[in-house]
Structure 1
Amino acid sequence: MTNIFQSVLNTLKLEIDNEPKSPLHVGETMACWMYGALMDEATIFMQIGLNSTSDNQLVAILQESLTQCDKQSSELRNFMKKEGIHLPSVSEPRPDSDPKAVPLGAKMTDDEIANGISIKTATAIIHCATSAAQSIRNDVGMMWVEFMNEKLVFGASLKKLMRERSWIKVPPYYYPPGRPSQSGH
């Protein structure tokens, strides 16, 4: 499915490249600023997660997310600089530390780390979708669709790991009054 989606994006890019570029409107500017802050703060969370876990699969997911956040942040920062948008301030990167040396009361559990990544990924997807829908400039809308596609693909692998490890948080099931019985009677 990613190849089909990417093919459509590549086709649309050809149309967008020839479009005249108007200045960004205030909503597009705010969306860029907020997503830049979100990616930079997510980077800090991934660094803290890497300092808290020794689970190989979770480390791999954290590293994948960290790479993706850094990539998207860098692309967005370059775009923002080109468009004259002030960049959000960022927390300082965390130094590497040995997860075994971090006191239990100070480090996150693997479950907390996985759910934190999940929340940040879901927030990023929603932000990208909203920003794409509100963008007037097609190049800006396309940037959001590309970022969202990357987050969706990542989110699928994260959800698979979370299900395998029973880390996924499920809200209570809803059984409406008068709902037909599921037992077939």
Structure 2
Amino acid sequence: MGILSGNPQEEPMHYGEVFSAWEYLMVANKAIADHQMLMNHVGDGDLKKLLKDAVEQAQQEAKQVSEVLTQNGVGLPPAAPEPPSVDLEDIPVGARFQDPDVAAAASAKVAAGLVACSQIMGTSIREDIVMMFGQFHMNKAALGGKFLKLTKEKGWLVPPPLHHASKSD
């Protein structure tokens, strides 16, 4: 048997897996703080709940990736401190992010996370890492669908130019 056969958790991570997981954790930590800060700016209850879901999902992912890195003797990146909660009315109108902008920014982070998960899955050789990021990918796809539905329902979606097929008789 070779070094890469048997229990995946007992196999060493390759340098790409280490860096990708470490970088993913660093970005997840930043996303947690960013979403928590954006919740201060949100007036829409549905958007606030979806942001809370995004924070909880990112926290769970960060915990899982931290465990894998720690088990493999890799130091963890620093986590951003949790921002303080403030009342929406305490943020001056000119300094406040608007709900449609918050939804768009959160959706963009989800989309970037999908790409990152796909890249990590494609370059990993440990099955447990591929499966973990595959699960993250599915969770992000579901979350992205919720953001899309919300932005459509609220009238916040700014679509690209729409193509209408010409009808020829």
Per the normalisation by structure 1, the TM-score is: 0.82
Q: CA deviation at 1:55?
A: 0.8
Q: CA 1:28–1:170 in structure 2 vs 1: closer, same or farther (change >3 Å)?
A: same
Deviations 1:82-109 (A, max 9, x none): 1112211222210111011111222211
Q: Are 1:42 and 2:31 an aligned pair? A: yes
Aligned partner (choices 128, 136, 144) of residue 147 of structure 1: 136
Q: Do the aligned partners of 2:25 and 2:65 also contact (CA within 8 Å) in 1?
A: yes
Cα distance in 2 between the residues matched to 1:111 and 1:26: 40
In the other structure, the counterpart of 1:182 is 166
Q: CA deviation at 1:64?
A: 0.7
SS of corresponding position for 1:105: helix
Deviations 1:122-141 (A, max 9, x none): 01111001100110111111
Q: Do the aligned partners of 2:9 and 2:128 also contact (CA within 8 Å) in 1?
A: no
In the other structure, the counterpart of 2:55 is 66
Cα distance in 2 between the residues matched to 1:171 and 1:184: 24
Q: CA 1:21–1:169 in structure 2 vs 1: closer, same or farther (change >3 Å)?
A: farther
Q: Do the aligned partners of 2:33 and 2:80 also contact (CA within 8 Å) in 1?
A: yes
Cα distance in 1 between the residues matched to 2:51 and 2:8: 38
Cα distance in 1 between the residues matched to 2:106 and 2:58: 11
Deviations 1:133-178 (A, max 9, x none): 1101111111110111111111111110011122223333579xxx
Unaligned 5+ segments in structure 2 are none
In the other structure, the counterpart of 1:53 is 42
Aligned partner (choices 117, 126, 134) of residue 115 of structure 2: 126
In the other structure, the counterpart of 1:166 is 155
Q: CA 1:101–1:83 in structure 2 vs 1: closer, same or farther (change >3 Å)?
A: same
Q: CA 1:103–1:53 in structure 2 vs 1: closer, same or farther (change >3 Å)?
A: same
Cα distance in 1 between the residues matched to 2:141 and 2:6: 25
Give the aligned residue type for 2:156. Answer: W
Structural RMSD (CA): 1.9
Q: Do the aligned partners of 1:53 and 1:110 also contact (CA within 8 Å) in 2?
A: yes
Cα distance in 1 between the residues matched to 2:160 and 2:6: 44
Cα distance in 2 between the residues matched to 1:101 and 1:52: 10
Cα distance in 1 between the residues matched to 2:9 and 2:85: 45
Cα distance in 2 between the residues matched to 1:59 and 1:17: 44
Cα distance in 2 between the residues matched to 1:90 and 1:30: 16
Per the normalisation by structure 2, the TM-score is: 0.89
Aligned partner (choices 96, 114, 119) of residue 107 of structure 1: 96
Q: CA deviation at 1:20?
A: 6.7
Q: CA 1:102–1:24 in structure 2 vs 1: closer, same or farther (change >3 Å)?
A: same
Cα distance in 2 between the residues matched to 1:62 and 1:171: 24
Query: Percent identity at matched positions?
Result: 26
